[in-house]
Amino acid sequence: MSAKKPDKSVSQRAIAFLLILQTMLIGVNAENRIQQGDSPIEVLMWMINQCIPVLKQASSFQEKQKKSLLPKHRRSEDQ
């Protein structure tokens, strides 16, 4: 009997879920800021600044996915 490898799709779904959750929490926080009296333009600029790291995380995740799909000999060429 061989040991089971962790399922990549489960970890991919978990990461995607966490990125979506993070984005939703940014939206909730933005709504709270508007209700507290911040101007919509200030809140929009704040949201953009908060979403940049999320986009970087998603991009990094996508790059890791692509590299894991490459054949082994191609991975060594990319490094």
pTM confidence score: 0.65
Residue 49 lies in a domain: yes
Tell me the residue range of the domain where 47 lies: 41-69
Segment 46-72 mean pLDDT: 84
Residue holding tokens 């490094």? 79
Q: What percent of the chain has pLDDT over 90?
A: 39
> CA–CA distance from 20 to each of 29, 31, 32, 43 (Å)?
14, 17, 19, 19
For residue 61, being part of any structural domain is answered with yes
pLDDT of residue 28: 97
Phi, psi of 38 (to 5 degrees): -65, 150
Domain assignment present for residue 45? The answer is yes
Q: Which residues contact 65 (CB under 8 A, 6 or more apart)?
A: 12
